[in-house]
Chains A and B, each alone.
Chain A
Amino acid sequence: MAEKYDAIVVGAGNGGLVAATKLALEGKKTLLLEKHNIPGGFATSFVRGRFEFEASLHELCGIGPFTPEGGPLKKIFDDLGVSDRIEWVTLDEAFRTMTIDDGSANFDYSLPLGRERFIAKVQEYAPGTEDVCNKLFDLCEVINNGIDFLSSIEDFTSDTLKSIFGEHLSFINIAGYSVNQVFDTLNVPKKVRDIFGGYWCYLGVNLDELNFIHYFTMLHSYVVDGAVIPRTRSHGISCALLDRFEELGGEAWFNSPVRRILVHNNRAYGVLLEDGREILSDYVVCNASPYNAYTKLIDTNEIPKFRIKDLNAKKLAVKGFAVFIGLNRSYEELGLNNHTYFIYNTADTRRQAELMKRRDTNSVQATVCLNTAIPDCSPEGTSVLYMTSIFAGDNSWNDVTAESYVKTKREFADKMITVFEKATGCKIREHIEEIEIAAPVTYAHYTDAPNGTIYGFDASGTDTIVHRIANQAFGKKIDHLYFAGGYTMQCIGFSPSYTTGNLAAEGVLAEMRKEAAAK
């Protein structure tokens, strides 16, 4: 009979690593299981020739280098005791955003991080818009206060209600609306919309549908609190978390895929590994997506009907595509002066989302030159560039076969390079020393992402972040099973994934305390 764990964490992605480390920190006997040979999930890197490429992180918010107390993610990392194992580099630039297919209406804006600097720069492009810019950032503060208040509620009393409909009424009023609906109310001029909307491809939902609160908490976090990147790629964060977890006595098993999360009488009690080993635990934290968990890992008969219906009422988010390029010239020589380039076909985000359904119409890209932040991230005289595109619609990439796959992804990468050169004027093609291309198939291969999505469930319709938070208490759940990661309540992103890992562990710990008290 194998020994029993207090908790098993399935998947060493961002959510799983934080959940496991927190549980170990609280003295719980924790087993972290990962099917790959490395931790991190999307938070990883790979080496080609003399370059080490970041696999997914463009910039990290939540560390908050511009805030005196640091951001909420910094607090999580501090509490876990991992902060001193990660070296952060503070970014200076927010983004450069441009369009290429809008003819004379094409724009090209470069924005710095920091509220004051950001607004000052907007004035160069759209003079006289200071008030509306300030209003937008002020609304972010209102939202953050509202969120802080709501998450601080322990007992719901008449005073709570009074506060909600008193000082937090603005927050309540705004909660159901999209970015563009709020822009309309504030009569935000087009240029300001285009600038403030620059980050939208990081959530993959067009601004007609993207929840205002969701988008602006993210934007605020980046622009006002500042953003960082880890010096040794996101793999450095993953290694730091794992290192701390093992130091705290946690056990991590790699190359150990889970076949089943064991559930009986609506309660999770362990896992069955692919190799046939059964391991018991009081709690299970699942960092695999709920989609995979409910379709592959848990016996269908043990899943509450509500969870399946809820799953069916979700939509998969956009698929990912990335080109990783090692260049044999320095970024200065090539004129790669920006850290993040957003290159859209059009400023009309709804139309852009339509164009994203097909390879021949899409060429949206978020491209990062890491050397602008970390000059020595590649050997002297070289630079690295990552281009990420996204594809909307369940059917994009359905025409690809195993045989045509490599050619197809190469053709699209080729187009992304052409578009980048055309938009920026930087000539990179002849300097490509290493290139690797990741398509939706690649993400499906490495992360088991359904349909190759990189953003989890689409945060639109009745499944926006506000819907998820407001409805989290509803519907029957499997007891002692907690979910963490980018498919859960806080939607996609590094910071949300770490945060939900922390929340999952807090959930487990609270339940443990409750049960201990009941005994």
Chain B
Amino acid sequence: MKNTFKVKSEGRDILKTLNVVTGRMLDVNMASAHIARHPDTFNVNRIAKQLHPKSLKLRIKKVDVFSEDVKSYILTSAEGRMLPYFKAGQYLTVELKVGSSVLTRPYSLSSSPRDSLSGEYRITVKRVPAGFASGHILDNWQAGDIITAYPPEGTFGYEPLRDAKTVVGVAGGSGITPFISMAEDIASGDSDFNLILLYGARNTREILFKKELDALADKCDKFKVCYVLSDSTSKKYETGFIGADLIKKYAPADEAYSIFVCGPGPMYKFLQSELPKLGLENKYIRFEMSSGRRDLAIEPGYPKDMLEKTFSLTVIDRGSKYETECNSSDSILCALEKAGIAVQARCRSGECGFCRSKIVSGEYFIPQGVDKRRIADARFGYVHPCCAYPLSDIVIKIN
């Protein structure tokens, strides 16, 4: 090369380059021969572990009985650890063994995030007719029992960078639970927004947490609650179903507001036809995902001739293979649980992605609105088994 490039001068440049080896060796030789710092001791890593432990062992401290069909469970750490802090609106996933089945269920936390700092979570369980898990919990869980749970998750909750300053909460039945957490969070000053809660129940007896809600509304002017009864009339309460008119009546007239909905399927269906009347942008409407059982017979696009069929389900799991079967009406996750095959699963509504698995072969159906897969996942044959229903024999790789 005719023009050699020099930075300082030939001699100094070469020395500098040679020093790349000697300089490094000098530094290495001077360094300690004992690990200077374990990575888990960084504050950042400590907090990550504190907020996201792999699992939690919780002791049922107390059971609050509303009725045989509705109970709240106060949970504390059975390991003497701090409970992970959470965002109001998030859910706790509990693990259950029912007969030979191994399953998990998500329950919105009905306690305030602040309570977790003093060591308590609360979930509230309502009996689902013909429900598998709720009945088991209500009939079996006792104070003193120890359960396994997975740390709070979920995206349903107030986000000031995204949501309007006022939220109209629409709750139905046990869908009240995340709103209690939000109201508590407002009352304690940890969240700053206005919550106007429309709480639908059949009759006054079915209203949960009325005392607690009224007390919160009394002490905090950012929280209001309005009860809406569908099956009985009363001068004290609104009556009918919660729809566009009722929301309009309670929502601020001259400023933007968000709508958060948590409740049973029929309520969602009704609101989906009602909410467009309000002319709100998509960003102002949030539904908590519904993890309940789906009736495929009324799912748009479901091939009805597939109802009440049974298919074989072959499960590949870390070099092992299991054979079981799957009813066409059961999600693949449900079939795995029935077979006693433990699967990572949290939200059961297609959102969290924990159960993501590869369909090695077979056809399946995913209902509208719950296909929250990544584009590449859909392309490479991955599904969320909680929202996938077999249409043929299936081979699935779960881990």
Contacts and interface: CB of A to CB of B under 8 A. Distances in A.
The A interface, classified by DSSP as helix, strand, loop or mixed, is helix
Contact of A402 (B8, B50, B379): B50
A113 B379 CA distance: 31
Contacts of B380: 239-240, 242-243
A461 B27 contact: yes
Contact of B161 (A255, A413, A466, A474): A413
A170 B1 contact: yes
A414 B4 CA distance: 51
Interface stretch (A45-53, A64-72, A116-124, A188-196): A45-53
Nearest to A475: B28
Query: For this complex, into which size category does the number of interface residues on chain B fall?
Result: 35 or more
A267 interface: no
B24 A328 contact: no
Contacts of A265: none
A144 B30 CA distance: 33
Given A251-B319, A410-B160, A432-B161, A47 B5 contact: no
B373 interface: yes
A306 interface: yes
Contact of A173 (B5, B84, B282, B283): B5
B371 to A, nearest CB: 10
A296 interface: yes
A37 B317 CA distance: 12
A328 B281 contact: yes
A139 B281 contact: no
A503 interface: no
A275 to B, nearest CB: 9
A235 B1 contact: no
B45 A451 contact: yes
B47 A405 contact: yes
A451 B161 contact: no
A216 B29 CA distance: 30
Given A253-B399, A254-B399, A313-B30, A175 B20 contact: yes
A291 B356 CA distance: 30
Contacts of B39: 291-292, 295-296, 448, 450-451
B191 to A, nearest CB: 10
A319 B351 CA distance: 28
A397 interface: yes
A152 interface: no
A414 B16 contact: no
B356 A462 contact: no
B162 interface: yes
Contacts of A38: 353, 356
Question: Which of A312, A319, A402, A414 gathers most chain B CB within 10 Å?
Answer: A402
Given A173-B13, A328-B283, A394-B42, 9 more contacts: A47-B373, A232-B379, A305-B33, A312-B31, A312-B32, A328-B282, A432-B162, A441-B48, A451-B44
12 contacts: A45-B376, A46-B374, A175-B16, A176-B19, A232-B376, A296-B38, A309-B33, A402-B51, A405-B85, A432-B161, A441-B44, A451-B45
